[in-house]
Structure formats: structure tokens, C-alpha cells
Structure 1
């Protein structure tokens, strides 16, 4: 639920320092969060457009309650942002239920939303609180062009067992080692692909590679309107490889007071999958700025300042 940016690129773009430990870069420098120490909140986001939109939605809803908020967007994948939240470098993070759970517990196989939520509440790191999830859901989906679906008779992920050897799979680099990715596709569906191309997280590189024929199976997101616009085919997932992926806020437990939790709950109650898809389209297709798109939506729904 994401692509690992090169450390140098993160530093150059954000002007941040990071601390290193076994396994690589894991957090932003905790000294770079003065707002958090003064009572304000820092909202962090992963490095793909929808998560950036969500970060600005969270920030706007919190500002409307009189909280000082800054947004640090495009920080990278979970390997960076989840430890950053745990260490207090950021205070709030928009996440996705199932992908987060499997990041925290590689053996987790819960699928239904309530089951995933209960497991998350027991699995999140100490000092981190998972809040109730939104109606909105954005799931990983495996997509082929209409031509590929017709040529190989592809309707479900089960159909890949006999055909994957002739197909190239494309998605974020993490797909190579994650359950919701090549690992689960092989173990659950017997799909072993001709090749894997590490691209971006459901973004223009992956969509362009699918459109151009460089890959035949793409990991995209269910809220991506370009799937419908291109008449692409989402392969059904009868064995439920992909768990529930409702949007869920993660918050520094020390900052999860009533004002914060109620502001995010009010946002969650109005954020549906359809609304999230519309917001994505404004940014990805219409090239509008995520912060302005978020502000307009909050004002429209009575949640802005």
C-alpha cells in the first residue's frame, strides 16, 4: 500500500536528515519536529498522490478545530514513515488497513475489515494509536488491458496460473517481497511471471507501462479512474489475497486527544470510496494541487476552517 525512494532523493527534496539502523533508513530526525513538541501536529504522507491528498484532508480537518498543523508529504514508503511516526518525528499518518497490518505482521492473513482492524489495534507499535477507519477504501488491484484479458482468457487471478510465465508484472519495488504482491500471487494462485519491473506506486510509470505493453499485469489502485477510462480489466480475487484496505488514521498516542480523534472521525464519516476516487481524479487526471483539492472538499462538506 509502497515505493521506496532513494535516500538521496528524499534528502534533496525535503531537506531532512534521517537516522540509520540495521535494515536501512527508518526515520526522519526527531529533532526536526518542533511543532509536535509545542503542541501542534505534523501530518506525514507516503510518496503517492492519494496519500498526499489524504494528508491534506487530515490537516485541514484538524486546523478547523484550532490545531496548528503542518504537512510533510512524499516522505517515502512504510519502511520510512511508520518508524517516523513511532519515534515521534511525525504525529499523524493516513494509512490503509490491510497493507499496514501485513507490513507490521508478515504472517497476518485477516481479510474482513473488522478482523483487520482488531488485529491492527493489537499490532501497532507502542506509542501509536489506530483510530476507527473511514468508509472509503482503496484496494490494490491487479489489472490487464482488455486485449491481454481476451488473448489469455483472464478473468480472475486464478487464470494467471497457466499464463503468468508469458507475462511481465509491474508495480512498486516492494511488490517483489510483499504478500500482496508476487509472494501471495505465487503461493495463493500459483502465478510465476516471466519478469518483474519495479515501477511506481500505482502511478504514471505503471499506467504508462501497461498502456505501452512493457508490462502485461499492473498493480494499481481500485480508486484509479484511469482503469475505467482505458477499459482495462481488474482480475477478480476469489481467494481474497488482498484484504480490506479502508483508510485508517494512525496517530501518536500522546497526541490522540478528544479534539483530534473527533476531527478525524468526522472526516471519516463523510469520506466514501466514491468521493476519494473523485479527489484522485482531480489530482491525477486534472493535475490540480492536492492541498487545494483537499481544502475545496473540506469546505464543501462543512469540515473546513
Structure 2
């Protein structure tokens, strides 16, 4: 059984020092014993026939992306290990910096706000440039894919019609009337209540801390327990349920194209060229379908990634 997309481990786990993550909480968060795929876990330079250790966060889309990275790297002749479901950025980015893993699938805007909570860049090019300037020494980002999975704020069709909602700008006319739901982190995040207040002047009647684009949030939206939900743009349930995604005319939500975050000493020409093969091949529509195959059809992320990569000539 795979975890819902973008369910993040926070709280006590985020305070744990590596490599002692396993002692700090339940679940698969240790860097040991969480491998999938094949190959060596060596942290030495990649080189021809070398090795790369890929880490993923603890939600299915990121695990799919990690396995797509593994497919193109294996085709390029590298030995690859995938350490899946390691936790939130508070866990996996320190793991990357410490050399426990070499590579992560990341999202432009979220990663920039992780390193600079005051960042205001929104376009893909602006975010990529700002992010490159904010990265700690020893880390590097590679060019983004066409595929993007961005935060969205959605309401049911009935709520949209009742309150006349089509844009985030429309929410302020109903301050104190609507309930917002999403992950607990939304209470303080810029792409959450803080930004909706500062950018759009929105005050909600209440906030319900649920999960990140998971069954709790989507169930609460369906049942009317919340009025506005933080979801993700590649979620096929949005179209299935005819939910209305509110437009973002003031560009609160930054670009979220998928990017490789890698240790600089691993980002040689062989690795960079292999990962670049995904840049135009993987589209948002593809990623949406892959997510649905795992989250709705309950297929294995590694199998889904291999099938897609092989169909696109990116795996043997």
C-alpha cells in the first residue's frame, strides 16, 4: 500500500539528526532498509558505470519520479539505488547534504521557498534562477522537465456557484464565511493561509488541518466539511469530481516544474545528459496519468515508471 501524494512527515521527525532517523518515529523514514531498484549505494563519484543513490519523499508521485530517474540513469550505464519514502524535506535534504543520498526529484517553487521563505519569484525561469542562487554549497539543480505539479486551491462546483468564485481574488468578498482545509503546514506557509491573507486579503472562518491532497482533504471537500481545499494540479480527482480550480491572477503560487536536485559532485555530463532525456518527454498530462495509475488503480510506482520509460525509449 502506497502513501497518498505529498503526505509529509513533520514534527518530531523533522528534528531528528541523520543517520538516526529510524529511532525518532515510526514508518519508513530511515535511510537504511528502504531500498528499491538495483545497484550499489556507494556515495563516490558517478563516472561511467558509477553509482547513484536516489532518495524520494514519502508520497507516491515523488516515488514515481525517483523511479523514472532510475530508469534513465540505468539506461546510461549507472548502478542505481532508490531509497523511497524517506520523509519530508526536513529529512531528505539534510540526507542529500550529508551524502547519504545523491539525487532527489524536486519541485521548483516549493524548493525555493524551503531555502528562502520570503521568495516572491513566480515564473519558471525566475524561480530557477533564484533557486540556483540560494542553494547551499555542494548542491546543484539541473534543468526542469516540462511536467509541472503545482498547488491549487479548489472548491466544489456548488460552492463556486453559490459564492460566485472563479478566482482567488473572489474569496475576500466572503471573508469569515468559508472554511479552508489542507495539510497542517498550510497554516503558516506562503502558499497557504499566510499568502492568501497577504496577497489576496482573505480571512477564513476556520482552518482544518487534514492531509496533503489526500483522502482526508478530498473527503472533507466532497462532504462540505471544508469549502476551499489545497490540492495538486496533477490530481485526476479534480476533473473526476468536477471541482473548480480558482485562478491565481496575482501569481501567489510559483512555478512547480519537476527538477533534479543533486549533489554537485555527482552532476557529471553522463548523469546530466541522462536526466535531461526526461525534460521534454515527461509532460504534465503524463504525470497525471502515472499518479492515477498508482493512487487510483493501486499499481506499483516502480512498475508504472518502468512501463512509461520503456514506452518512450528511455528504458531497456
CA contact (8 A) 1:60 1:304 kept: yes
CA contact (8 A) 1:4 1:173 kept: no
Using the TM superposition, name which of 254-263 and 162-171 deviates more. 162-171
- For the residues of structure 2 that align with 1:206 and 1:52, how far apart are their CA atoms? 21
User: How far off is 1:4 after superposition?
Assistant: 2.9
Q: SS state of the match for residue 152, structure 2?
A: strand
TM-score normalised by L of structure 2: 0.87
CA RMSD of aligned residues (A): 2.1
Q: SS state of the match for residue 249, structure 2?
A: coil
Q: Determine if the alignment matches structure 1 residue 12 to structure 2 residue 26.
A: yes
Residue by residue over 1:42-82, the C-alpha shift from the partner in whole angstroms, topping out at 9 and shown as x without a partner, is 11111222111111111111111121111122222222222
In the alignment, what sits opposite 1:266?
A: 277
Distance change >3 Å, CA 15–CA 109, structure 1 → 2: closer
Using the TM superposition, name which of 108-117 and 42-51 deviates more. 42-51
Q: Determine if the alignment matches structure 1 residue 281 to structure 2 residue 292.
A: yes
Of residues 3, 8, 33 in structure 1, which corresponds to 2:8? 3
In the alignment, what sits opposite 1:170?
A: 181
- For the residues of structure 2 that align with 1:12 and 1:258, how far apart are their CA atoms? 39
User: How far off is 1:103 after superposition?
Assistant: 1.3
Q: SS state of the match for residue 264, structure 1?
A: helix
Q: Determine if the alignment matches structure 1 residue 63 to structure 2 residue 70.
A: no
- For the residues of structure 2 that align with 1:141 and 1:184, how far apart are their CA atoms? 13
Runs of 4+ in 1 over 6 A off after TM superposition: none
Using the TM superposition, name which of 85-94 and 292-301 deviates more. 85-94
- For the residues of structure 1 that align with 2:58 and 2:223, how far apart are their CA atoms? 24
Q: SS state of the match for residue 13, structure 1?
A: coil
Using the TM superposition, name which of 38-47 and 187-196 deviates more. 38-47
- For the residues of structure 1 that align with 2:111 and 2:261, how far apart are their CA atoms? 10
In the alignment, what sits opposite 1:36?
A: 43
- For the residues of structure 2 that align with 1:294 and 1:145, how far apart are their CA atoms? 32
In the alignment, what sits opposite 1:139?
A: 150
User: How far off is 1:224 after superposition?
Assistant: 0.9
Distance change >3 Å, CA 231–CA 108, structure 1 → 2: same
Q: Determine if the alignment matches structure 1 residue 74 to structure 2 residue 88.
A: no
CA contact (8 A) 1:140 1:221 kept: yes
- For the residues of structure 2 that align with 1:43 and 1:90, how far apart are their CA atoms? 6
TM-score normalised by L of structure 1: 0.90
Any residues of structure 2 matched to 1:1-305 within 5 Å, and which?
3-5=8-10, 7=12, 11-14=25-28, 16=30, 34-37=41-44, 40-305=51-316
Using the TM superposition, name which of 267-276 and 75-84 deviates more. 75-84
Which ranges in structure 1 are unaligned for 5 or more consecutive residues? 19-32
Which ranges in structure 2 are unaligned for 5 or more consecutive residues? 1-5, 15-23, 33-39
